Amino acid sequence: MGIADTIQSIGFLTDLRESALVYPIVMTTHLTCIAVFGGMILMTDLRLLGIAMKDRSVTDVVNQFRIWKRVGFCIMVTMGALLAGSEAVKYSGNPFFWAKMCFLAMVAVHAIIFRPRVYNNTAAIDKAPSLPGRAKLAGALSLFIWLGVLSMGRLIGYYEGPGPAPAKPLATVTQPRHISQVAR
């Protein structure tokens, strides 16, 4: 048995995968956290770019959102790990899943680079006559990386495994394609 097989054979992960109710609830929680806390990441990025919340100081925006972004990130990652763990065999062979993981690794790199220079240095940014380039760069890269995470996450559900895809007649919709049809 491979590692992925071992992971998804863990009792509660098997239960999760096989539950018609719990699986979608975990997924909804994942998506809700993305919505609420991703929205905060977005507003922080837009503030750093000088596009939104211009009447608020960068310090206010960064510091006040921080705790919520952390809470959201923890719930989001927990739910995501449950979803991926319960379908570990499918996910481990899915290139979009690994693309998403790469984007998440870029989130970490982004934090290492920009936390000391931007997020922990907001007082200097607020004092500057105009938004410094490093703040804008941090905001723009963060937006790009998170959109990558989001898009790759969605595309996980569309990967049909290796080998030639069965020839499908054009435009026949036989069963619901939907946001929730992720790799099931």
Partner 1 sequence: MFLAAAENPLNASDLIFPVLECIHIAGFTILLGTIGLVDLRILGLGLRTQKPAEIARDVGPWTLIGLVLVLISGPLLFSSDPDMYYLNPSFLVKMVLLALAIPFHYLVRRKVALANGSGVGSKIVACTSLALWVGVIFGGIFIGFVNQLR
Binding residues for partner 1, rule: CB under 8 A, are 20-21, 23-24, 27-28, 31-32, 34-43, 46, 52-53, 55-56, 60, 64-65, 67-68, 147, 150-151, 154-155, 158, 170-173, 176-181
CB of 4 to partner 1, least distance (A): 23
C-beta of 12 vs 68, nearer to partner 1: 68
CB of 8 to partner 1, least distance (A): 19
C-beta of 9 vs 180, nearer to partner 1: 180
C-beta of 6 vs 151, nearer to partner 1: 151
CB of 6 to partner 1, least distance (A): 26
3-state secondary structure labels for all residues of the chain:
CCHHHHHHHCHHHHHHHHCCCHHHHHHHHHHHHHHHHHHHHHHHHHHHCCCCCCCCCHHHHHHHHHHHHHHHHHHHHHHHHHHHHHCHHHHHCCHHHHHHHHHHHHHHHHHHHHHHHHHCCHHHHHHCCCCCHHHHHHHHHHHHHHHHHHHHHHHHHHCCCCCCCCCCCCCCCCCCCCCCCCCC
